[in-house]
Amino acid sequence: MDELLFKPATEQVALLRSGELSARELLAAHLDRIDEVNGDINAIVTLAPEIAEAAARAADDRHTLGEVGGVLDGLPIAHKDSVDTAGIRTTSGSPIYANRVPDASALIVDRLQQAGAVTIGKTNIPEFGAGSQTFNPVFGATRNPYDLTKTVGGSSGGAAAALASGMIPIADGSDVGGSLRNPASFCNVVGLRPSPGRVPTHPSLTPWSTLLVSGPMARTVGDIALLLQAIAGADPRCPTSRHEPPTMFAAPLELDSGEVKVAWAPTVGGLPIAAAVSTALESVPGVFADLGWQVVEDVPDLTDAPEVFQVLRACEFEVGLGELYDSHRDQLKDTIRWNIEEARRRPLTDYAVASRKHGELFHRVQEFFGQYDVLACPTVQVAPFDVTIDWVRDVDGVVMASYIDWMRACSDVTVMGCPAISVPAGFTPEGLPVGLQLVGRPGDDLGLLRIAKAFESATEVWKRRP
């Protein structure tokens, strides 16, 4: 059964389509796995077996009638607990919403279900998705399948842990400062931050923002492409939507040419990186060279990235949670209160300056990608740390000023406006996963997937199970 559960989602879908496996059989196998390991890991926090069984039965009925289902027909999935799911408790990890059951689903959930995915439950997150350590006062902490004393990162931490432990074959998530990439690195799975608008987000209080994106998480790059076929594509309610058809991600992932020019940035432009992370990734340039790629140590000028990110992020926290701060301040964790207070103490000129610097940074990035096909760098600055630590206070002896500064390997990339993916790349001597972050040209999600697939095939690190 383990061999089935750890097969790529593309192979599980093929078994369903061929009739070798029914959706109900696949669901039962995953439910058994959840029953076996979730008590220790705490990745899936709300289980909906009756809803899942009805969806699996419907998928089997379609197959019996010869109807053509969606690209995910019969495949189990769990949704991030910050994403509304009709009829299933959605708490955002907050005691304020501990018993909330939405009447309608978010767009990404609707698209996944329309593609035939079988909703199995909800995955754990930090409170309101704030921070890259998955714990909250409603459900507690999620533990890393590779070492139960360690964190899974966040904020899509429950999704990453569920994938790594075989509880689900695919997952959805969202990313502002690394929430799809950081937990993917910590759990040896793949997390894609798509180009803004590639996966439209609705509902949204900030529909024009490019900071928050929805995206896929899976165990292989091919599975990421499969998910994009279901969740990508324009929606009129999301003004930043990209209009390329989602079927583009059904194209082969083999590179059209072996000539790839890589900018290798082992410190992402001078960030402190823990020795364990650097050591786990030291073979990466050699892998690129063996693939016949040209490797140059270089990085775009990201000097203004932390200021841009901090200001824009604070603004979004005020928009999203400012009213809750006023009415339920004592029920919000300290880091969320800090972020909202940051927004309120800053003058409007800070936002104006950050907006200008954001535009200048993007133009520098465009020029940079005129020279390179991909930027490669660490996904994380530290290896998975103790699950009882709320956030990292120092990295390689450098003190972190706030709870998000230790994530700059991801958050500095966020404001570049490019697609970015974390792929399994290595392990520390203690057996903890470390991911490689690959950043593609603006808007070139498919090209990025092809480069990531080549790296994945050359290394096969993703095959190392907990």
Tell me the DSSP string of 33-61. HHHHHHHHH--EEEE-HHHHHHHHHHHHH
How many Å apart are CA 270 and CA 328, to the nearest integer?
39
- 280 residue type, one letter: A
State yes or no: pLDDT of 258 exceeds 80. no
Task: Look at the chain and report how many structural domains it folds into.
Answer: 1
The rounded distance, in Å, linking the Cα atoms of 402 and 414 is 18
Q: Would the pTM of this model clear 0.85, i.e. be above it?
A: yes
Boundaries of domain holding 59: 2-463
Give yes or no for a contact between 308 and 315, defined as CB atoms under 8 angstroms apart.
Answer: no
- DSSP H or E segment with residue 451: helix 445-459
E strand or H helix at 192, and its extent? strand 190-193
Question: pLDDT grade, residue 259 (50/70/90)?
Answer: confident
Show Cβ contacts of residue 36 under 8 Å, excluding neighbours closer than 6 positions: none
CA 69 to chain centre: 26
pLDDT value of position 1: 86
Which amino acid makes up residue 317? F
- Tens of pLDDT, residue by residue over 308-340, are 999 999 999 999 999 999 999 999 999 999 999
For 205-255, what is each residue's pLDDT tens digit? Answer: 999 999 999 999 999 999 999 999 999 999 999 999 999 999 999 999 999
The DSSP annotation for 345-386 comes to HS-HHHHHHHHHHHHHHHHHHHHHTTT-SEEEEES-SS---B
Is residue 195 scored above 90 in pLDDT? yes
Q: Indicate which CATH number applies to the domain containing 208.
A: 3.90.1300.10
pLDDT at 257 over 90: no
Cis previous bond, 155, omega within 30: yes
Catalytic site positions:
80, 155, 179
Statement: residue 99 has pLDDT above 80: yes
What's the Cα-to-Cα distance from 4 to each of 168, 184, 224, 394, rounded to whole Å? 11, 21, 18, 41
Residues 356-397 have pLDDT tens digits of 999 999 999 999 999 999 999 999 999 999 999 999 999 999
334 contacts 277 by C-beta, under 8 angstroms = no
Digit-coded pLDDT (tens) for 115-162: 999 999 999 999 999 999 999 999 999 999 999 999 999 999 999 999
Q: Is the pLDDT of residue 61 over 90?
A: yes
